[in-house]
Amino acid sequence: MIRVLGVATLCGLFALFGFIVGRRQRAAPAAAVVQPPAEPEAAVVSGRPRESTGRRVVCPQVTTTEVPPGRTSEEILSALHRLPSMITPERAPVEARVNSIEGYLLGVSLALQASGTSALKAMSDQFADEICSGSHRTDLDLMIFGRLAMIQPAVSSERALGCAFDGRKKEDVVLWTLLKAWNSTGRPVMPAIASIASEATDQRTKTLLLPPEEARQQLMEQLANGHRALEARLNAGANTLPGAATLSGTNTRPAPTTREVAASLR
């Protein structure tokens, strides 16, 4: 897994970096194109098929030419929106689909950071435009936005977050990812956050809404309580970890004494 993620990270760096700082070629038309992998000409990153889909992990075929002003961020996001379908089946859970492109997201983040504040601002505006217009506002789109914002907070904005939170009532992995992105970007004051806080019932949602120091303190208290509970169980004479006997379906018995063993051999 680490090997595949590392390779994917390099692919994200080399493939998507071309969109931002690629060579200028006069003879080619002005465009930056990310083509879906063709068979059998796709650039194979790992020759080992993925067990879940039977597909191979591939790097997008990138043609780097002069990028027209304002098109860079659009082309990068277009590639990111298409990548999960190239790697995982659409029926897979949304979190698993975003996990499959984690290396690409890291590559995009590093490329944007290397390109300077103008590239980061362009990406931030592009995310906001797409989310607020509704053109890319599916759970998968919002997860991609949230994950990239967690890695590189500068690609987020109060406008993008406001549109992403708008109308979200379900407390799920999408909402939690957006709340993590909100925390990463400095927790801007937003009406949507107040609405979510007033209706939250899941403890994970409530924890993500806490100020960082308070959330950290709560986590430390939970760890301490768990440690004390385990210690009390062990001190009470339990000789198995919690749940071990239940999982095995057998009752624990003390080891026989030497006298009992000797008697059984007579």
Question: What pLDDT sits at residue 172?
Answer: 97
Kindly report the pTM of this predicted structure: 0.64
What torsion do the CA atoms of 18, 20, 25, 26 make, to the nearest 10 degrees?
A: 150
- How far apart, in whole angstroms, are the C-alpha atoms of residue 200 and residue 70? 39
| Average of per-residue pLDDT across 161-166 | 96
Q: Range with the lowest mean pLDDT among 10-24, 35-49, 69-83, 215-229?
A: 35-49
- For residues 241 and 24, which has the higher predicted lDDT (pLDDT)? 241
Please name the residue that has the structure tokens 């960082």: 212
Adjacent-strand bridge partners of 147: none
Q: Contacts from 227-233 at CB under 8 Å and sequence distance 24+? A: none
What torsion do the CA atoms of 73, 75, 81, 86 make, to the nearest 10 degrees?
A: -140
Closest CA relative to residue 85, chosen from 138, 131, 148: 138
Q: Range with the lowest mean pLDDT among 40-44, 134-138, 201-205, 240-244?
A: 40-44
- How far apart, in whole angstroms, are the C-alpha atoms of residue 67 and residue 47? 32
* Rounded alpha-carbon distances, angstroms, from residue 46 to 5, 61, 83, 101, 131: 10, 15, 16, 14, 33
- How far apart, in whole angstroms, are the C-alpha atoms of residue 86 and residue 145? 18
**% of the chain surpassing 70 pLDDT:** 62
Structure tokens at 214: 């308070």
Question: What pLDDT sits at residue 218?
Answer: 86
Question: What pLDDT sits at residue 71?
Answer: 56
Residue 134 has pLDDT above 80, yes or no: yes
Residue 50 near residue 87, CB atoms below 8 Å: yes
Structure tokens at 263: 């008697």
Q: Range with the lowest mean pLDDT among 8-12, 57-61, 213-217, 239-243?
A: 57-61
Question: What pLDDT sits at residue 59?
Answer: 46
Average model confidence (pLDDT) across the chain: 75
| Average of per-residue pLDDT across 18-25 | 40
Question: What pLDDT sits at residue 262?
Answer: 63
pLDDT in tens, 88-100: 999 999 999 999 9
Q: Please tell me whether residue 207 adopts helix, strand or coil conformation.
A: helix
Amino acid at 178: L
Question: What pLDDT sits at residue 11?
Answer: 53
If you ran DSSP here, which 8-state letter would residue 69 be given?
T
CB atoms within 10 A of CB 258: 7
CA triple 255-259-260, angle to 5 deg: 55
Residue 173, classified by CB atoms within 10 Å of its CB into exposed (0-12), middle (13-18) or buried (19+), is middle
Residue 217 has pLDDT above 70, yes or no: yes
Question: What pLDDT sits at residue 242?
Answer: 54
